[in-house]
């Protein structure tokens, strides 16, 4: 996570296989089959966030959004993220 983050905004994600067409990342509740947006609430400013390995194993491109699709939160400045990926053998 960046050292500065505006307004305690959640993190949400968009994924793409081609770098052109992006789609919001959702998960489906296995009991109800109801989809919900993947949201990292109150991310630790200046800390690390570990995401599940199954988040997008076949995805090549990721966009990080401040806030949710229905309630995006503008950051007061550009924020720089660093991604560390574990590539399965």
So what's the pLDDT on residue 57?
Answer: 66
Which of the four pLDDT bands, split at 50, 70 and 90, describes residue 88?
low
Identify which of 3-17, 39-53, 74-88 has the greatest average pLDDT: 3-17
Per the confidence metrics, is the pTM higher than 0.75? yes
**CA proximity to 7, closest of 56, 58, 71, 54:** 71
- Residue ranges per domain, the chain? 1-89
Question: The tokens of 3 are what?
Answer: 């050292």
Map tokens 């503008």 to a residue: 74
Strands 35-37 and 23-24: unpaired
CA–CA distance, 17 with 3 (Å, rounded to integer): 29
pLDDT in tens, 37-48: 989 998 888 888
Strands lying side by side in the sheet with 23-24: 23-24, 11-16, 61-66
For the stretch 51-63, pLDDT in tens is 777 665 667 888 9
CB-neighbour burial class of residue 84 (10 A; exposed 0-12, middle 13-18, buried 19+): exposed
pLDDT at 14 over 70: yes
pLDDT at position 63 is 92
Cβ-contact 79, 36 below 8 angstroms = no
């Amino acid at each position: 996570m960046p050292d500065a983050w505006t307004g305690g905004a959640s993190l949400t994600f968009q994924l793409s296989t081609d770098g052109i067409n992006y789609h919001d990342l959702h998960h489906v509740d296995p009991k109800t089959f109801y989809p919900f947006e993947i949201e990292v609430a109150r991310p630790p400013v200046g800390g690390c966030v570990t995401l599940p390995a199954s988040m997008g194993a076949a995805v090549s491109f990721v966009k990080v959004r401040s806030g949710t699709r229905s309630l995006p939160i503008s950051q007061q400045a550009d924020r720089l993220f660093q991604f560390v990926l574990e590539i399965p053998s």
